[in-house]
Structure 1
Amino acid sequence: MPSLAAISTIDFPFKTNQQDVKEYAKGLFAVSFPAVERMLGAFDNTEIVTRNLCKSLDYYSDVHTFQEQNLEYIRLALEYSVKAIEKCISSAQINKDDITDIIFISTTGLATPSMDALIINKMRLNQHVNRMSIFGLGCGGGVSGYAKACTVAKANPEAVVLLVAVELCSLTFLRDDFSKSNFIGSSLFSDGVAACLVMGDNRINKAKHQIKFVGNESKLYFDSQEIMGWNFTDNGFKVLFSSGIPAIIAQNVHNDVSSFLAKYQLKISDIKNFIFHPGGKKVLAAYEEALGVEGDFLKTTRTVMNNYGNMSSSTVLYVLEQFFTHDFEDGYGLMMSMGPGFSCEIVLLQMKK
């Protein structure tokens, strides 16, 4: 079974207190958004304490063209991807030439040649690395990307697969968009960069813990395209998400998880470690109510949300990093996230100290 050899995440130098972001947003929206005072409570309701931001708050006070924002996305995505990858390579005690495959996940910027090509060129990785660049999976991308990395490693026991997830959500902020969705987005979304190395069976894994891939499943809910995603405008990416997301999760997640686990003769009660993407406070509450697991089983997920905000696809890898570097229970682990589509991504892990 493919195993996780190393994982690293980025704390940006502009990590900012949520209350400072709240006051800043109040100033930005006050003139053209009459409901701003009434809606400021949204910042507190998230329970986010600090936001991982790739730029200082002053940057967001100006109107930026899509071209300006996207160029900044490419620059910062490359810079911090390299930093995260270098940390992974050092932690796994491998040579960069050992990397056989690279999977790049993002939903918040565009690049052609794709970011994986820019990374290979910048780091002078093996020119024959197999490349996969995936755009548009949104919050589901972290779990989906991890599943794809493990599938590649399962097919090739000699593989060393590099997975990189970059989401610079704040660079999609539209300064002159005074819609409710843009305001709510400004209270929740943050920036994150995560990298991990997944190894095939024939590779020596020097990690202190063993986190092995068992299986995965994807599910697309029909006729739910308007639940979450982007509207692409002349000015850039306009966020789209529905207030009905927690209800969809509450209605479906128990059956989705139960039916998936049944394929491995497992039940929800057999899962010891829950590595979930924190879509927000209400999403976490929907998971808790629907799954009915005793105790604070989403504690690590909630901690990441409180300390970083919602970093789209990269967030679940921050949660995985916390399990990998700190503590977990021996037994099965379940990774899960929901994304545009509307869709669900699940990965089953076997975890041993």
Structure 2
Amino acid sequence: MPFIAATAKIDLPYKTEQTEARKQALELFSKNFPEAKRLIFAFDNTEIKYRNFCKPLSYYEKPNTFEERNNEYIKTALDYSVQATEDCIAKAGITKEDITDILFVSTTGLATPSLDGMIINKMRLNPHVNRSPLWGLGCGGGVSGMAKANTVAKANPDAVVLLIAVELCSLTLIKSDYSKSNFIGSSLFSDGIAACIIKGDNHKHNNEVTYVGSSSKLYYNSLEVMGWDFQDTGFKVLFSKDIPTFIKEHIKEDIDEFLSKHQLKMSDIKNFIFHPGGKKVLDAYQDTLGVEGDFLKTTREVMNNYGNMSSATVLYVLEKFMREGFEKGYGLMLSMGPGFSSEMVLLKVS
């Protein structure tokens, strides 16, 4: 089976304390959004201590257009994708010429040609690399990308697949949007760039993290739960307060069904590699899954130190597991995203 050879993440230069982001949000919103003072407690209740930002806080105070923000997205995404890829290549003990496939995941900016093409051009990768840009999967994109990367490596045991997730959520902030969803979003979302190398089974390895299977599910009649509303000013964030309720109603049954296909039960899962979403989402998982102990410790620590980086977050969680060590047994990657949807990947850790 395919295996995960290496992971890499980016600690951005403008990592900011949540207290500073809170202070700025109150200043930006209070004049035109009277509820700001009443809702500012949302920043305190996230349990986020630091936010990973690609720009200093002063950047977000200044007026800017969607075009300007998207141009920043392209430049920043390209620079840090290359940096994460170079780090991942070194960790995997390969050369850039070995890469056969690229999957590029993002939902926070637009580019055609897509960023994977720009990365090939800038790094002078093999011009025959197979490219798959994945757009619009939101927070579900990291797990979905991992599933698709492993599918590619399973189909071609000689494959060396590069998976990159880039989300620059801060650059989607519409300064003139004084809605509640934008205010709450400004308490959670951050920027993240992560890369992974997945190899097919023909590559020699004593790797401990192999792919077992995956699941993808779209829930009918839930399109309004999370997404973007595209406006002249840019990407207006949409998400429902009902997400934790949705998780409580569906996720345990979905996980049990997925695991049963592999003759496993929840008790067989030793490593929970979850996308955090936010404190209420983590609480919903904790309440619903009935797993003993602090099984989401690693996920919570990533959220505390980075914020919600959309699709990239779960790859930061995976990187932390890869660096600090797994418990032997099985690992479950899970994230929820627009659609409303769930994505799962089952890993075996030896």
With normalisation by structure 1, the TM-score equals: 0.98
Q: Write the deviation string for residues 23-42 of structure 1: whole angstroms up to 9, x where unpaired.
A: 01111112111111111100
Name 1:227's counterpart in structure 2: 225
1:44 is paired with a residue whose SS is helix
1:216 is paired with a residue whose SS is strand
Name 2:204's counterpart in structure 1: 204
The separation in 2 between residues aligned to 1:22 and 1:120, in whole angstroms, is: 39
Name 1:119's counterpart in structure 2: 119
Q: Write the deviation string for residues 234-268 of structure 1: whole angstroms up to 9, x where unpaired.
A: 00000000000000000001100000000011000
User: What is the aligned counterpart of 1:274 among 272, 275, 278?
Assistant: 272
Name 2:73's counterpart in structure 1: 73
The separation in 1 between residues aligned to 2:140 and 2:245, in whole angstroms, is: 17
Where do residues 183-194 of structure 1 align in structure 2 (5 Å cutoff)? 183-194=183-194
**Residues 1:289 and 2:296 aligned together:** no
The separation in 2 between residues aligned to 1:63 and 1:269, in whole angstroms, is: 51
Could you tell me whether the CA contact under 8 Å between 1:213 and 1:348 is conserved in 2?
Answer: yes
- 1:204 CA drift (Å): 2.7
Could you tell me whether the CA contact under 8 Å between 1:63 and 1:174 is conserved in 2?
Answer: no
The separation in 2 between residues aligned to 1:80 and 1:89, in whole angstroms, is: 14
Letter in 2 for 1:147: A
1:164 is paired with a residue whose SS is strand
2:276 is paired with a residue whose SS is coil
Name 2:85's counterpart in structure 1: 85
Name 1:329's counterpart in structure 2: 327
Letter in 2 for 1:256: D
Letter in 1 for 2:237: V
Letter in 2 for 1:56: P
The separation in 1 between residues aligned to 2:305 and 2:278, in whole angstroms, is: 12
Where do residues 1-353 of structure 1 align in structure 2 (5 Å cutoff)? 1-205=1-205, 209-352=207-350
The separation in 1 between residues aligned to 2:235 and 2:288, in whole angstroms, is: 32
Gapped regions of structure 1 (runs ≥ 5):
none
The separation in 2 between residues aligned to 1:205 and 1:176, in whole angstroms, is: 52
The separation in 1 between residues aligned to 2:36 and 2:284, in whole angstroms, is: 27
CA RMSD of aligned residues (A): 0.7
Letter in 2 for 1:196: C
The separation in 1 between residues aligned to 2:248 and 2:154, in whole angstroms, is: 33
The separation in 2 between residues aligned to 1:64 and 1:6, in whole angstroms, is: 38
The separation in 2 between residues aligned to 1:346 and 1:299, in whole angstroms, is: 19
- 1:274 CA drift (Å): 0.3
- 1:205 CA drift (Å): 3.5
Could you tell me whether the CA contact under 8 Å between 1:9 and 1:321 is conserved in 2?
Answer: yes
Gapped regions of structure 2 (runs ≥ 5):
none
Q: Write the deviation string for residues 206-229 of structure 1: whole angstroms up to 9, x where unpaired.
A: 7xx511000000000001000000
For these two proteins, the number of residue pairs brought into alignment is: 350
Letter in 2 for 1:310: N
| 24-33 or 75-84, larger mean C-alpha shift | 24-33
The separation in 2 between residues aligned to 1:40 and 1:95, in whole angstroms, is: 48
- 1:63 CA drift (Å): 1.9
2:335 is paired with a residue whose SS is strand
2:321 is paired with a residue whose SS is helix
Letter in 2 for 1:149: A
Q: Write the deviation string for residues 267-314 of structure 1: whole angstroms up to 9, x where unpaired.
A: 001100000000000100111111100000000000000000000000
Q: Write the deviation string for residues 163-199 of structure 1: whole angstroms up to 9, x where unpaired.
A: 0000000000000111100000000000000000000
Q: Write the deviation string for residues 103-149 of structure 1: whole angstroms up to 9, x where unpaired.
A: 00000000000000000000000000000001000000000000000
Identity %, equivalent residues: 65
The separation in 1 between residues aligned to 2:280 and 2:42, in whole angstroms, is: 12
| 27-36 or 237-246, larger mean C-alpha shift | 27-36
The separation in 2 between residues aligned to 1:43 and 1:281, in whole angstroms, is: 11
- 1:3 CA drift (Å): 0.4
Could you tell me whether the CA contact under 8 Å between 1:228 and 1:342 is conserved in 2?
Answer: yes
Letter in 1 for 2:279: K
The separation in 2 between residues aligned to 1:243 and 1:35, in whole angstroms, is: 16
Could you tell me whether the CA contact under 8 Å between 1:199 and 1:205 is conserved in 2?
Answer: no
